[in-house]
Amino acid sequence: MHCGEGRFKANGAPARVMPYWPASACIGMLCNDPRISAWMLDTIDTARAAASAERTTFRDWYDCDGFRAMWEDGTITDDTLFLWMCAA
């Protein structure tokens, strides 16, 4: 049984199963890799600088209106939320 569904369809064929991969384990693995964690910190700094400055070009996700609005209204306040956004 997976997510309340049976392991087999009504015709007896096996049902598809999507494994659950916790995001926290993936982020922990990424943060433990010195090359990736350095990239993440650089990206956080770049995103903060981009959100604080006037947008002149669209370079990446941190230039979008949604990210800039979340930065301005205080939805994004710490590095943890940045890491979740990078992982997503």
Mean pLDDT by 10 residues, the chain (88 residues): 71 81 76 79 82 82 82 77 60
Q: What pLDDT shows up at residue 74?
A: 83
Q: What pLDDT shows up at residue 65?
A: 84
Backbone φ and ψ of 3, nearest 5°: 55, 35
Q: What pLDDT shows up at residue 1?
A: 47
Q: What pLDDT shows up at residue 79?
A: 67
**Distances in Å between the alpha carbon of 73 and those of 11, 15, 23, 49, 67?**
52, 44, 25, 16, 10
